[in-house]
Amino acid sequence: MTRKALKPTLVLILFFTLISVSYAQDTIPSLLSKPRNPDNFWHRVAIGGNIGLQFGSTTSITVSPEVRIRTIDQLYVGFRFIYQYLSFKNYFYDTVSGGYLSYKTNVFGGSVYLRYYMGSLFTNFLSNLFVHAEYEYISYHRPFVQSDQGTLIGADNYLYKNGKSVVAFNSLFLGGGYRQPITKSVSLDLLILFNINDTYSSPYTNPIFRLGVSAGL
């Protein structure tokens, strides 16, 4: 290579070297900078709970804390602990006295649910709508037991007598609701649900309304 050809070659090498150094400085993040969107597990967790009220032949007061975790897109998996106060009005008919008997009980249980918010489908107020599917297991004590010699006729048309029995019940709820933001991380949830497994032993009367509150971590 001649001396005349060497000089332009050195200039080109120096030019591309400066470009490479400049590009590297722009793309290598600073050690002091923070990620723009850190994927923190706790940012996907929300805690809260709801209160359920139902009045009529069956009165139900429900207090239920819950926690839910965002998994894929706007799909949440939630877990609830359930306490209920139940009052069944005129549930048993006494064939001896000719009158009706009511009873009250306390309920304990839990549930797991899936909830999908419409935030990925809409950019307006409809983004706060969600669909909800839930499986629930509860149990409670009833002050009567089934017996062919009983004198009490239950709402299920079986015969009962005085005694203590445990009632375990499984429910499948389908429905949806609306989330009303209060602050950046706190919101109210209004749900309308229908119990697909609705029988005489169910403590619910369709439709079921819930009002809950949640707060992101």
| CATH number of the domain residue 212 falls in | 2.40.160.20
Say if residue 137 is in the same domain as residue 56.
yes
Number of domains present in the structure of the chain: 2
Domain that holds residue 161: 40-216
Single pTM value for the model: 0.71
Average pLDDT over every residue of 83-99: 91
Give residue 118's region: left, alpha or beta (phi > 0; psi -120 to 50).
alpha
Which residue, among 114, 130, 138, has the nearest Cα to 181 in the 3D structure?
130
pLDDT band at 31 (very low <50, low <70, confident <90, very high): very low
175, 154 Cβ separation under 8 angstroms: no
10 — pLDDT class (breaks 50, 70, 90)? very low
18 and 60 fall within a common domain: no
Q: What does the alpha-carbon distance between residue 18 and residue 9 come to, in Å, rounded to a whole number?
A: 14
Same domain, 1 and 88: no
What is the band of 22 on the pLDDT scale with cuts at 50, 70, 90? Answer: very low
